[in-house]
A and B are shown apart, each in its own frame.
With several copies, the nearest count.
Chain A
Amino acid sequence: MSITPFKMPVIPLIKKQAYLNLYEKGLREDGRRLDKPRNIEVKVGVLDKAEGSALVKLGNTQVLVGVKAEVGQPFKDTPDQGVLVVHAENVPLASPIFEPGPPDENAIELSRVVDRSLREVRAVDLESLVIRPGEKVWNLWVDIYVLDHDGNLFDASMLAVMAALETTTLKDYEELETGEILVKRDSPGAKLKINHRVVTVTTAKIGNYIIVDPNFEEEIIADYRLVLAFDENMRIVGAQKTGSGGMTLKDFKTALKISKEVAQIYFKALEQTPK
Chain B
Amino acid sequence: MGGGAKATLIREDGLRHDGRRPEELRPIRMQVGVLANASGSAIVEYGKTRVLAAVYGPREPYQRFMVLPDRAILRVRYHMAPFSTSERKSPAPSRREIELSKVIREALEDVVLLSEYPRTAIDVYVEVLQADGGTRVAGVTAASLALADAGVPMKALVAGVAVGKVGGVLVLDVDELEDSHGEADMPVAAAPDIGLVTMFQLNGVLSEDELDRGLSMALTAIEKIVSIEKEALKRKFEAIGEEV
Contacts and interface: CB of A to CB of B under 8 A. Distances in A.
Given A49-B86, A96-B37, A238 B105 contact: no
A239 B83 contact: no
Contacts of B215: 249, 252
B196 A247 contact: yes
B10 interface: no
B191 to A, nearest CB: 6
Interface string A230-267: 01001111111111111111001000100000000000
A115 B85 CA distance: 23
A2 B36 CA distance: 24
A241 B200 contact: yes
Interface stretch (B16-24, B93-101, B221-229, B230-238): B93-101
Interface in A94-113: 94-96, 99-100, 102, 105-106, 108-109, 111-112
Nearest to A66: B83
Interface in B36-76: 36-38, 41, 48, 52-54, 56, 59, 62, 66-68, 72-76
Interface residues of A, number: 69
A150 interface: yes
A1 interface: yes
A121 B205 contact: yes
B91 interface: yes
A248 B127 CA distance: 29
B47 to A, nearest CB: 10
Contacts of B85: 49
A223 B196 CA distance: 12
Contacts of A2: 75-77, 98, 101-102, 104-105
Interface stretch (A13-21, A29-37, A84-92): A84-92
A192 interface: no
Given A48-B130, A248-B196, A120 B74 contact: no
A231 B98 CA distance: 27
Interface string B109-130: 1110010000000010101011
Contacts of A112: 95-96, 99
A132 interface: no
A93 B83 contact: no
A53 interface: yes
The 10 closest A-B pairs by CB, nearest first: A66-B83, A246-B196, A93-B54, A244-B109, A239-B202, A2-B101, A4-B73, A93-B125, A241-B200, A50-B83
Interface of B: 1-2, 35-38, 41, 48, 52-54, 56, 59, 62, 66-68, 72-77, 79, 81-88, 91-92, 95-96, 98-99, 101-106, 109-111, 114, 123, 125, 127, 129-132, 184, 186, 190-191, 194-208, 211, 215, 219
Given A112-B99, A149-B37, A185-B86, 10 more contacts: A2-B75, A2-B105, A4-B105, A49-B130, A68-B88, A93-B52, A94-B35, A141-B88, A241-B197, A256-B208
